[in-house]
Structure 1
Amino acid sequence: MSQPRLSIVIPAYNESARIENTLARVMHCVYARNWDAEVMVVNDGSSDDTAAIVERWMLDHPRLRLIQNPGNKGKGFSVRNGLLQAAGEIVMFTDADLSSPIEEAELLIAAIDKGADVAIGSRWLDPAKQTTHQPLYRRFFGRCFNAVTRLAMGLPFKDTQCGFKAFRWPAAQVIFRLQRIERWGFDPEILFIARKLKMKVVEVPVSWGHDERSRISYLKDGMKMLEEILEIRKNYLLGRYDEAIAKKSVPARETFTGKVRS
């Protein structure tokens, strides 16, 4: 297949209960809207039938690929592993639960087409677009974490954690080669990197519905993410987000020629 317009990356860990429905919705959308797209499921060391289900679907869907992580490495590792292997002019990732409907990808694509280097879905820019609200305690912890993240890292975005983000291919090649956080805290890290490299990041309101099967624990994982925020600051002070480091390993298909936008 020639270079596609869009690559859709879906990180998956023990998703056998819902990956079939996810693939049905994503592939239907790709065909119905005539997207020139590849779909890539990154299996993060699942112990269930996630990989087998994807492989079965691949028999009938040549646009579908399966990428296997070397064991369970975390969501951040999975997203990076997928996006760095993606071939699309625009590359994006979405959570396996499709809390933001895949059709909303058109909003991210439109933002990229208008000049953004990174387009991030936001649950909180327009609360009216939330179809199923989180329980109150999840909303409280989520807002608290976002406030701490914005303060500690200088990020202006209302929602850093929404698992629905798109990138120009050259921007993704640089950002994800500099990424170091491999679990839940990778979202603010990649936004921090993009901002430090003066890329244009646009926040886009998207429809979103809470899934009760969400695995994130705001107490346990929230504390870990706070530790990772400190690690991001340390990495920055040690010069580990230097643009030149990533430029050395960007594939020759497209060369990243410096800061995307000042």
Structure 2
Amino acid sequence: MSLSMLPSPAAEQVRTLAPMLDVVVPVYNEEIDLEPCVRRLHEHLRTAFPYRFRITIADNASTDSTQEVARRLAGSLPGVVAVHLPEKGRGRALKHVWTHSDAAVLAYLDVDLSTDLGALLPLVAPLISGHSDLAIGSRLARGSRVVRGAKREFISRTYNLILRGTLSARFSDAQCGFKAIRADVAERLLPMVEDTGWFFDTELLVLAERTGLRIHEVPVDWIDDPDSRVDIVATAIADLRGIARLTRALGSGRLPVAALRRQLGRNPLPVAGVPAGLTGQLLRFAAVGVASTLAYLLLYALLRNGFGPQAANLVALLATAVANTAANRRLTFRVRGSDGAWRHQAQGLVVFAVGLGLTSGSLALLHLASDPPTIVELGVLVVANLVATGVRFLLMRGWVFRAAPPSFDQA
């Protein structure tokens, strides 16, 4: 029996009939705005979009006549389908529809159509071509034209600053209701996204960024809807809780970012003669080393007069050794979770002993030769610490954290 690698005629037919783009319109109690939105969107796609498309109305637990309006539109407009979910949550609606869609590219937009539809093709084009993995409309990118009140502007910019400070996010606008993702990427990421509400977008984008995926940003024209149903205070509180939860998940290693990177083929490109991840590890190790050295020198200067040079060196080096090992474990070598933490600290103390030998030996040789002033001692210790730092990196990479698989997620 031989197995053909060519797709079956049935599979080819399914692929031909499947739309290139599935645009989801998540709604909750939008009986007034839903019909004009879908008709306008349908007309735009019919006349300006060169691929087969579908519009999916995702009604999440509406209590008015939204469901009836959605069914009527699905019955009268080709390419429009209606889905009803018994539970609320924009994220829940998007995850449900995207998970069950057969389209190659999945998108969504808000029912108020605050974003100009002229940006829809530029949004999805890099995903159709395969160059990018996700795409977002941005009201904060250069070239955007935005009309909204000062309150909404302040909240939006503050939220994105918080994301940059807490999750090191580099995308410019997490909250614009105008996004798209390739279906093969969504298949990998959606099971990892927990939020079912407004934080869904942010969680998806942070996870995508940490796994090294390309996020394409499109400047948009955006006019605020004065009749928005969003509860700003409740949404802000939920977003802050989501940030805290996601920070813990990333810090503990509960989210398998490194594994996703490998599965998606987004590890850094190899450089001949340079071990994978070495450059990034050196840069992060250097940053941790600078901070540790400054802390060490400060402690030594404070303790030197009261304890003497050798005792001050011992206490200062020991006090910074534990913090240094923990910081390098988390930041330099990207080890998550508590597994092996005590073993790493014990091995780090051995590395500390090597550093202690180098610095203490340098001090002993210096005092055998003369009775130097404190500034000379500090200079010698800086040089000794530089040597000890190099030895420490080699020991940590080749021994302490050698068993940990290489990880390339962003800080």
SS at match of 1:258: helix
1:139 aligns with 2:153: yes
1:62 aligns with 2:78: yes
Letter of the 1:12 counterpart = V
Q: Distance in 1 between matches of 2:233 and 2:27?
A: 22
1:142–1:218 Cα contact (<8 Å) kept: no
**CA RMSD between the two structures:** 2.1
Q: Distance in 1 between matches of 2:258 and 2:81?
A: 31
2:138–2:144 Cα contact (<8 Å) kept: no
1:200–1:261 Cα contact (<8 Å) kept: no
Structure 1 244/63 Cα, relative in aligned 2: closer, same or farther at 3 Å?
farther
Aligned length: 250
Q: Distance in 2 between matches of 1:243 and 1:169?
A: 19
Q: Return the offset for 1:126.
A: 3.1
- Structure 2 counterpart of 1:252: none
Please, which runs of 5 or more residues in structure 1 have no aligned partner? 248-255
- Structure 1 counterpart of 2:21: 6
Letter of the 2:140 counterpart = W
The percent of aligned pairs where both chains have the same amino acid is: 26
Higher strand share: 1
Residue of 40, 54, 63 corresponding to 1:38: 54
Q: Which has the larger radius of gyration?
A: 2
Q: Distance in 2 between matches of 1:56 and 1:63?
A: 13
Residue of 223, 239, 247 corresponding to 1:225: 239
Moved more, 133-142 or 218-227: 218-227
Structure 1 85/102 Cα, relative in aligned 2: closer, same or farther at 3 Å?
farther
Q: Distance in 2 between matches of 1:198 and 1:42?
A: 30
Residue of 258, 264, 269 corresponding to 1:259: 264
Q: Distance in 1 between matches of 2:165 and 2:262?
A: 31
Structure 1 100/243 Cα, relative in aligned 2: closer, same or farther at 3 Å?
same
- Structure 1 counterpart of 2:306: none
Residue of 182, 187, 191 corresponding to 2:196: 182
TM-score, normalized by length of structure 2?
0.57
Residue of 191, 197, 203 corresponding to 2:205: 191
Higher helix share: 2
**RCO higher in 1 or 2 (8 Å CA, sep ≥ 6)?**
1
SS at match of 2:83: strand
2:119–2:218 Cα contact (<8 Å) kept: no
Moved more, 168-177 or 13-22: 168-177
Residue of 91, 103, 120 corresponding to 2:106: 91
1:117–1:260 Cα contact (<8 Å) kept: no
Q: Distance in 2 between matches of 1:71 and 1:199?
A: 31
Q: Distance in 2 between matches of 1:210 and 1:36?
A: 30
Q: Distance in 2 between matches of 1:12 and 1:137?
A: 24
SS at match of 1:106: helix
1:75 aligns with 2:90: yes
Output one character per residue of 1:50-97: Cα deviation in whole Å (capped at 9) or x when no partner: 11011111112231111111222x111111112112221111111111
Q: Return the offset for 1:231.
A: 0.9
- Structure 2 counterpart of 1:117: 133
Q: Distance in 1 between matches of 2:163 and 2:262?
A: 30
1:185–1:225 Cα contact (<8 Å) kept: yes
Q: Distance in 1 between matches of 2:239 and 2:263?
A: 30
